[in-house]
Structure 1
Amino acid sequence: MAIRLEKGQRINLEKSNGSKLENICVGVNWGAIKKKNWLGFTTTEAVDLDASCAQFDANGNVIDKVWFRHLKSNDGAIKHSGDDLTGDTDGDDGLDNEVITVNLNQLNPKTEKIAFVLNSFRGHDFKTIPFASIRIYEGTPTKVKEIFATYDIANDPTFAGNVSMVMGVFYKRNGEWKFNAIGEPTKDRDFESTLQTVKQRYL
């Protein structure tokens, strides 16, 4: 059963049978914003959320970054499904709009932490974005095998007034990977500034 993540919660990355997880997906789902104009007609406003991540070494130095301008890490272990510029336009289809896949066995051996962040590219306030949520699971961008954790952005009032957040950090301890669910909004406006906040506060 999936864990509904609480801020600051830490989870072990194990399958239900106790074996270690090798392939992890971090998926983000959201919708376009529906508005009524002065004539009473409903219009659709595209929402561009960007899921991104960065690999860090033991000293907190960035090894590599995966985002919409660099969809695959140099070691081949992390892949981004591609940039979704609109969100779901006809309600929640149950699928993630952007997925970052991590093969833990292929990571650059210097990688000790992987931080995941989310930015609202056009500056849409998180509180206005329909059914925005995050989930961590085993599988692929098109097939979910087992969900490990979910995080509900849309119904968390602390995100109001913000356009960036730190989703969480995968970290290696005693040779095993774990996940720290941070789930904190930041006052940053873009990916690079959010990474600086990660380095200052969450590593």
Structure 2
Amino acid sequence: MAVNLTKGQKISLEKEAGGALRQVTMGLGWDAVKKGGLFGFGGSQVQIDLDASCVMFDESNQPLDVVWFRQLRSKDGSIVHTGDNRTGAGDGDDEQIVVDLANVPPQVKSLVFTVNSFTGQSFAQVQNAFCRIFNNADQREIARYDLSVQGPHTAQIMAKVYRHNGEWKMHAIGENGNGRTFDQLMPQITPHL
């Protein structure tokens, strides 16, 4: 049974998964709010392009690499973005970032996952947004975090996956921000490292 995280909550991924983790996937899903129509029927959906990114940081909190829609693979190959979804259409994960925990270089201390509205719409136009992390070995969901705090923000720092005493942990950050790409969130990310 997956843990439903609340803002600020920290968990041990390995304890929640019931053992050592080799490879996990961070999934991001969302739907655009329907516009118009009578009583919610017949309305059209606005296309919203949310983008998931993963920034890799070292012990001194310096960014080492980033995986996002313009660079789908980390330079060391341990993190892979499965591709850009520009609409949020369909069920389940709209974007996924696969992390090979066993091969993340030892100098990487933390991975920060962000979501940005590349098309510039605010989260007031997004519903059912979530991020989740699952174990690739058995496809079992370990943790889920609901991002559906609707409002004027265009980005969110979702979560941090980090090494602590030899194990991987997850911190649900859930901090709203503004910016079309991860680099505009860097000043907001730094205090969470």
Deviates more, 1:125-134 or 1:67-76: 125-134
Structure 2 unaligned segments of length 5 or more: list them: none
Cα distance per residue 1:103-153 (max 9 Å; x no partner): 01111221011111010111121132121111111128xxx7111111112
1:186 shift after superposition: 1.6
Q: Which amino acid aligns with 1:14?
A: E
Q: Of 119, 122, 128, which residue of structure 1 is paired with 2:119?
A: 122
Query: After superposition, where does 1:172-187 map in structure 2 within 5 Å?
Result: 172-187=163-178
Q: Which amino acid aligns with 2:30?
A: W
**1:33–1:47 CA contact under 8 A, matched in 2:** no
Question: Matches of 1:28 and 1:114 in 2, distance apart?
Answer: 15
1:98 shift after superposition: 0.1
Deviates more, 1:63-72 or 1:24-33: 24-33
1:42 shift after superposition: 2.7
User: What secondary structure sits across from 1:197 in the alignment?
Assistant: helix
The corresponding residue for 1:36 is 36
User: What secondary structure sits across from 1:193 in the alignment?
Assistant: helix
Q: Of 184, 187, 190, which residue of structure 2 is paired with 1:193?
A: 184
The corresponding residue for 1:27 is 27
Query: TM-score, with normalisation over the residues of structure 1?
Result: 0.86
User: What secondary structure sits across from 1:112 in the alignment?
Assistant: strand
1:146 aligns with 2:140: yes
Q: Of 158, 161, 175, which residue of structure 2 is paired with 1:167?
A: 158
**1:126–1:160 CA contact under 8 A, matched in 2:** yes
The corresponding residue for 1:49 is 50
* Matched residue count: 191
Q: Give the RMSD, CA atoms, in angstroms.
A: 2.0
Identity of aligned residues (%): 38
Using a 3 Å threshold, how does the CA distance of structure 1 residues 193 and 17 change in structure 2: closer, same or farther? Answer: closer
1:202 aligns with 2:192: yes
**1:54–1:116 CA contact under 8 A, matched in 2:** yes
1:188 shift after superposition: 3.8
Cα distance per residue 1:35-55 (max 9 Å; x no partner): 2279x9532321100000111
Question: Matches of 2:170 and 2:126 in 1, distance apart?
Answer: 26
Query: TM-score, with normalisation over the residues of structure 2?
Result: 0.91
Question: Matches of 2:167 and 2:7 in 1, distance apart?
Answer: 21
1:15 shift after superposition: 5.9
Structure 1 unaligned segments of length 5 or more: list them: none
